[in-house]
Chain A
Amino acid sequence: MRRPTPESDLLRWHAAALRDGRLPRHEDEPQPGWYRLRRVRGGPWVPVLIGCRQETDPETGELVAPETLYAVVAGEEVDPATIWTHCQPISRAAWLALIETCRAIPAMAAPDRPLDLARTPILPRSPR
């Protein structure tokens, strides 16, 4: 019988990485949390969520299947192992703000192309 890993444990590495940017990471051990990455060199930031899928028995609350990690990159689910080494840890608030930024700035809608700020000047978002 296994209890699901508590959220605080799942996010322990992420919290430590936010405090210490030089915290070492293991290439084949993605960690749950909120991140950002660039898909291409010079490309815009893309929000990344690495979560842990925990299927539990609704009555006992115990795991009915192994916990599996998943990643959502710009709304699309991918294997966390394929993007882990490119992920920069950010706070949840920064992740939410990045999602909003991606919606508000049209230039960020093409994450697979380098962002040329010289051709697409960033303009104020909120009209005054």
Chain B
Amino acid sequence: MTDLAPPPPGHNRPPPDESLWADFAPAVAAFADGAARWTAAAPIEAEEDAAGIADFLAGGRKLLKEIDAARKEAKRPHDEAARAVQAAFAKPLDLLDRAVAQARGLLESYLAAKQARLDAERAEAIGAAERAVEEAQARLAAASSSGHVLDAFDAQHALDDAEAALKALRPEPRARVGSATGGGRAVALRTLRDVRITNLSLAFTAVRDDPAVVEAVTDAIRRRVRAAGWDGRPIPGTEITERETL
């Protein structure tokens, strides 16, 4: 019998299991309430209140660490199970990676040679087609100057055909190999570009506006000025700010 009713919302994504941290629930509620009460008591002006909120902060951080430790412990069996699955699949994946890499290498060699042949054939064909166009142009010129209408008509058609043939050779053919069985798809080489830096300053100038570059430079400078051994000297192009934090 088929149940035609749609499954309830969230059936494939159950809510988080709050029983995992049930032991911490009272303390968590107390801190949430405490934060609201401290906020209501703001601003902090008396030394005794500052000392009190320092203790609240210490307690909150301690509870955070305890809950995070519990989280890691609860997650540990799942992490171990995931690692076991990864370990179990490592051998077939590695073997297949190697087998595919070997086969790919063989096919790449074949396709590279085929592409070279195609390029050579194309170059030869273009040369022949250009010569055919030149000859057709010469015939047309001769026929036009001789006044023979039929010859000029034939020469014009020959020129049109020669130019069309030359145009057809312009797109560069890509070497492809089809499936032997029909079960796979055709493959062809693709051009993959890579980069090697030869002049860091010039290369940086080319990409300096890239948000990823800005973030990487900011991170590198931030690490430098936060390092214990930083000499305090300004870094050109930057503004170093300081703020007090707990």
A contact set with B: CB distance below 8 Å: 97, 100-101, 105, 116-128
Instruction: Using known A-B contacts A122-B52, A122-B56, A126-B49, determine if residue A117 contacts B41 with beta carbons closer than 8 Å.
Output: no
Which B-chain residue is minimally distant from A105 (CB atoms)?
Answer: B52
Distance from B38 Cβ to chain A, minimum over Cβ atoms (Å): 6
**B192 beta carbon closer than 8 Å to chain A:** no
Chain B: number of interface residues, binned into ranges: 20 to 34
B59→A121 contact, CB < 8 A: yes
**B132 beta carbon closer than 8 Å to chain A:** no
B contact set with A: CB distance below 8 Å: 27, 30-31, 34, 37-38, 40-41, 46, 48-49, 52-53, 55-56, 58-60, 62-63, 66
A124→B58 contact, CB < 8 A: no
Which A-chain residue is minimally distant from B65 (CB atoms)?
Answer: A118
Return the contact of A124 from the options B27, B52, B62 (Cβ within 8 A). B52
CA distance A73 to B224 in the complex (A): 51
B55→A122 contact, CB < 8 A: yes
The interface residues of chain A lying within 8 Å CB-to-CB of B31 are: 121
Instruction: Using known A-B contacts A101-B48, A128-B40, determine if residue A123 contacts B59 with beta carbons closer than 8 Å.
Output: no
The interface residues of chain B lying within 8 Å CB-to-CB of A118 are: 27, 59-60, 62-63, 66
The interface residues of chain A lying within 8 Å CB-to-CB of B48 are: 97, 100-101, 125
Return the contact of A117 from the options B37, B38, B40, B62 (Cβ within 8 A). B62
Q: Majority SS of interface residues in chain A?
A: loop
Instruction: Using known A-B contacts A126-B41, A128-B40, A128-B41, determine if residue A121 contacts B56 with beta carbons closer than 8 Å.
Output: yes
Closest 9 pairs between A and B when the two form their complex, measured CB to CB = A117-B59, A118-B63, A124-B41, A122-B55, A118-B62, A121-B34, A122-B56, A122-B52, A118-B59
B60→A121 contact, CB < 8 A: yes
The interface residues of chain B lying within 8 Å CB-to-CB of A123 are: 34, 37-38, 52, 56
The interface residues of chain A lying within 8 Å CB-to-CB of B58 are: 117
The interface residues of chain A lying within 8 Å CB-to-CB of B63 are: 118-119
